[in-house]
Structure 1
């Protein structure tokens, strides 16, 4: 029914809100709310019954119902659109699946993807994750060792990490166990427990990266560390004894090497010194021989010029050399029947003892003076004796 449709025989228009009074004032608010509630109930399955007002509201319900549906749809679309807005941090990457199939990898920033249609998985690709494992295994020389290993890794390929493997971290742990057993099984126990730990970490990291690349896990191993390597607890005491014996062996070897380092250079120095002394003696003997030969040649020349003088000179030199090397003096006095022996060596020793005791000094000049005095006294005594014999 139209709003201006006449009722009965009157020309007055009917009230569109269902009222029949002729007053054209504003409609009652309570009545308006009741009519709106009735229309909503009719839209969602509720039946509207009543008087003339009810018949007029039933006539206008289809247009009102369409407007409400549009409003609700618009609101639902707005909510759906808002739900698709999300923020990707700088250290994150997003893997987008559309209807369960890979669609795109989103970068940091404000992003939007249709909800329900797209499924977005955000991954932190800069965070360093780690796993630890402890394994007991055999070495190459058939000894049992216990090794604790730590693996640090980051997500390098988000798509492979999300889609290619069901549990990438579990696959990484299994691959680390396999790589560790392969490396430890190829070396001796001594290498595992002592200086080979750093090389074990390098080899395990290289082999582990090859394994996870083959599995397409999207993981990049950044560092592998051997935290601890030791024999099993059951044989720890025996192993400590072995370690102590090895340390004693190394200590003795170091002491022997230190002794050798001290003795060998000294012996080499002594040998070199003897060689140098021998060479010096050789040069000295050669030089002396050459000098004597040259002196003899010159002496022969002088002897050929004047034999008597040269012979006398040689005699005097020989006597002087002999007397200079002896400490005994024989005194022959003219006219005397005996020669006097002066023990100059004893006098020299006595003079040394006297000097050490604080007495007077007896040197070569004093001995010479003493000898002259004794000789003069002997000559005087001999003269007196000859005079007495002549008087008789």
Structure 2
């Protein structure tokens, strides 16, 4: 009887020891505890460790990329995938006091399994809360236009750096692989107003471009016309100066001739002026010394015309 009981005890003890055999996969690590205290971390392969209640083990995939979603939750992977928005996580204020709706995700891997298991109670919620806090700080320092357009990459990088600082201070034992803004936009309630503002900005940009195009077209033309006018004025000035110089030279010569023969010069100038002012008109020159009346001369001319007509 005693021998049979001893054999049973031995078998039970062997079974107890057999429960300490476990396997760690190629993408896993295991943390071992003895009487509730950390003992060691082991890698892939077949292992044995003290069974419960003496020992305890936690086997975790350490090469897997984990994902935390903030502002939304994946309802169905799909395809097509379906998501559910979580406004209390996604709604936040920008630096210029505008409200914006931001959904983003964080990808991470476990870098230190011991720290990951023992330093925080709920790893997922800790990472999620820290990620949301980091993004709110960064978005709160940016304007809404920057957040919606050209500033997304910068926001991602700044948030990632800030999140790394927070998690490193916790000693959580993870490595951030990536942080991705999934969807950034105005809240649903003010979507239409944002669209109208965006359209107004586009119209403003278009008007500015059109005005710049008109300016770039009209200014060179105006400069060309101004240059032509200046050139014509310069040419006119040169011509007038030369004409004036010629008139002066001509007047000097005429003055010299006039001083030599005043009456002759005066008569010649008078005759030249008459030719210029009354071209093509028959002219009668009367000698001042002519005897008799000028009327007789005119009468004689009329009679001569009548005889010619007859």
Shorter-chain TM-score tier: 0.5 to 0.7
Structure 2 residue 139 is the aligned partner of structure 1 residue 202: no
Determine the C-alpha separation between the residues in 1 that align with 2:68 and 2:95. 26
Q: Note closer, same or farther for the CA distance 1:125–1:265 as it changes in structure 2 (3 Å cut).
A: farther
TM-score under structure 2 length normalisation: 0.62
Aligned to 1:149: 104
Residue correspondence of structure 1 range 214-233 to structure 2 within 5 A: 214-233=169-188
Residue correspondence of structure 1 range 1-392 to structure 2 within 5 A: 43=1, 65=2, 67-116=3-52, 117-134=54-71, 135-259=90-214
Determine the C-alpha separation between the residues in 1 that align with 2:203 and 2:30. 60
Once the two structures are TM-superposed, the CA of residue 85 in structure 1 deviates from its matched residue by 1.2
Structure 1 residue matching 2:47: 3-state secondary structure: strand
1:172-213 CA-to-partner distances (Å, cap 9, x unmatched) read 111111111101110111111111111111111111111111
1:282-314 CA-to-partner distances (Å, cap 9, x unmatched) read xxxxxxxxxxxxxxxxxxxxxxxxxxxxxxxxx
Structure 1, unpaired ranges of 5+ = 1-42, 44-64, 282-392
Determine the C-alpha separation between the residues in 1 that align with 2:220 and 2:18. 88
Once the two structures are TM-superposed, the CA of residue 264 in structure 1 deviates from its matched residue by 6.6
Structure 2, unpaired ranges of 5+ = 72-89, 236-310
Q: Note closer, same or farther for the CA distance 1:260–1:81 as it changes in structure 2 (3 Å cut).
A: farther
Determine the C-alpha separation between the residues in 2 that align with 1:157 and 1:261. 63
Once the two structures are TM-superposed, the CA of residue 265 in structure 1 deviates from its matched residue by 7.3
1:59-95 CA-to-partner distances (Å, cap 9, x unmatched) read xxxxxx2x22332232123212221111111110100
Structure 2 residue matching 1:205: 3-state secondary structure: helix
TM-score under structure 1 length normalisation: 0.50
